[in-house]
Amino acid sequence: MNPRILNQDLANKIMPAAAAAELIRPGMTLGMSGFTGSGYPKAVPVALASLIEAAEQRGDKFALRILTGASTAPELDGVLAKAGGIEFRVPYQSDPELRSRINKGEVEYMDIHLGQVAQYTWFGFLGKIDMAVVEVSGILPDGRLIPSTSVGNNKTWLDLADKVILEVNADQPAGLDGMHDIYYGTALPPHRQPIQLTQPGDRIGEPYLKVDPAKVVAVVESHGHDRLGHFAAPDECSLRIAGHLVEFLHHEISMGRLGPHLLPLQSGVGNIANAVLTGLRDGGFEHLTAFTEVIQDGMLDLISTDTICTASATALSLSPDGVAEFARNIDHYRSRIVLRPQEISNHVELVRRLGCIAINGMVEADLYGNVNSTHIAGSSIINGIGGSGDFARNGFLSCFVTPSTTKNGAISCLVPMVSHVDHTEHDVTVVVTEQGLADLRGLSPKQRARVIIDKCAHPDYRPMLHDYFDRACHSSYGKHTPHLLGEALSWHERYLTTGSMKP
């Protein structure tokens, strides 16, 4: 008997991935596990892609609606997109093949705040979930499920799906057992109650997922690690951004607006976020907390030294080195990390109550503090808004970070008007580039513009931004948020035409 599958009823449903995939029919809506490349099913989607390809060869259409926690991996989004099997995708993606098809107009993609996906599904706004396909790290004798490296929307998929396929992955750390906190107190309005969580590490639920065994149509024994790359050392630009942010946080402490242990950190993914975390440690901070979505290597490192003493998230997205370190010191981490459903990790009620310090990357910001997190040239999506809105709107501080330029200086990340708005002028308090930090709190639009240009813009683009702003202040229809509509998006147009925003 598989030591990870201890319930006999469910063990009786063990079958190969190919047989389980046969249970998935064209047109179905699937709720799948997976969040930032972790905890996604690794066997069934690959088998499913083969079925889809075979159907295509027969001339049959076989397309699915795919809902997940967040991004997955080539073994899920990649293979299904390549096979032409995704007709609708929610709520986040980062796979190159899938992204390419979305931007060719071949796949319909809906970009939702990650904290709202579960309730939208409960409300019925995303249709019926026909099948859940969820990776777990084990099944208890009583049939409860030990979650895997991410929780994501798995509770919702298991609760709402007509049928369930479980993948039990023998390669996920056994030590995950006990690290999760699955809150079963959610309800539909008007029956909702306050969520009684007041500290990032509070446990308000149960360590295991529940599933009606009668709904489980297949259990698949799977293998394989989450496909996450090695962790790069922060580059010079990221270190400078981190330096500005750390200096700002020290300043806020000196002004009495923050205590020495700050407030719970939310940190987006990627190099800059990791550099900021490293910067906090090197900046002498200790006994910090995190209330965030994803724990990456940078945060694990801080937890190992108790720079961060409690971290709440919905996913562990670790490099192979990070996985090894995690397994080596599992008891240390289990007492400091809580993995929750993303409905809770990103819940506006909790983000507001805890007063998170939100630090997220972006594509570009404009003079007035509007932020584009998702689109190139207003039309081509990169990944999605993720949880940035859940945290930015409701946190204590809403920081957005980016290098001041990209593409070797051909693109300025500070522009007259962003080509797509994900975070409005009402929701952005701090903008940081390697050039400096713009503190937008308490400023009118024109005051924000001056600070953003002077603190954040690259010197190559600063005169161009000043020129636009000055002329807009003179000639704009209204002078509250001065704009020259014929020019506002011209930098993006020029980039598309000439390959550079420079004239």
Q: Which is nearer to a copy of itself, 139 or 365 (CB)?
A: 365
Q: Which of residues 119-148 bind a copy of itself (CB under 8 A)?
A: 120, 123-127
User: In the complex with a copy of itself, which residue's Cβ is closer, 228 or 365?
Assistant: 365
User: Distance between CA 262 and CA 200 in Å, rounded?
Assistant: 13
Residues in 442-501 at the binding interface with a copy of itself, rule: CB under 8 A: 442-444, 446-447, 472-473, 476-483, 485-486, 488-489, 492-493, 496
Nearer to a copy of itself, 18 or 443 (CB): 443
The nearer residue to a copy of itself, 95 or 325, going by C-beta atoms, is: 95
204 lies in the binding site for a copy of itself (CB under 8 A)? no
For residue 28, the one-letter residue type is: M
406 part of the interface to a copy of itself, by CB under 8 A: no
| Interaction of residue 110 with a copy of itself, rule CB under 8 A | yes
In terms of residues, how long is the chain? 503
* CA Rg value for the chain: 23
Tell me how far apart the alpha carbons of residues 322 and 175 are, in angstroms, rounded to a whole number: 14
Contact between residue 377 and residue 103 where contact means Cβ atoms under 8 Å apart: no
CB of 65 vs a copy of itself, minimal distance in Å: 9
**Which span sits near a copy of itself by CB under 8 A: 164-172, 273-281, 342-350, 406-414?**
342-350
Q: Distances from the Cα of 176 to the Cαs of 143, 439, 444, in angstroms?
A: 17, 40, 48
Contacting a copy of itself within 43-82 (CB under 8 A): none
Say whether residue 399 binds a copy of itself (CB under 8 A).
no
| Residue with token string 């969040």 | 35
Please give the C-alpha separations between residue 424 and each of 42, 373, 433, in angstroms, as whole numbers: 38, 11, 19
Smallest distance from the beta carbon of 165 to a copy of itself, in angstroms? 23
Interface with a copy of itself, residue 375, by CB under 8 A: yes
> For residues 141 and 138, what is the distance between their CA atoms, to the nearest angstrom?
10
Residue 190 found at the interface with a copy of itself (CB under 8 A): yes
Comparison of 386 and 436: residue with beta carbon closer to a copy of itself: 386
Smallest gap from residue 246 Cβ to a copy of itself (A): 20
Our answer to whether residue 106 is catalytic in this structure is: no
Annotated catalytic residue, options 135, 252, 293, 343:
293
Enumerate the H helices of 255-341 as residue ranges: 271-282, 297-304, 320-328, 330-334
Most distant CA pair in the chain: distance in Å? Answer: 77
Residue 229 binds to a copy of itself (criterion: CB under 8 A): no
Q: By CB under 8 A, which span of 44-52, 100-108, 305-313, 325-333 interacts with a copy of itself? A: 100-108
| Whole-number Å distance between alpha carbons of 311 and 314 | 10
* Minimum CB distance to a copy of itself, residue 93 (Å): 11
Contact 80, 68 (CB under 8 A): no
Evaluate whether 296 touches 359 at the Cβ level (below 8 Å). no
- The residues assigned a catalytic role are 293
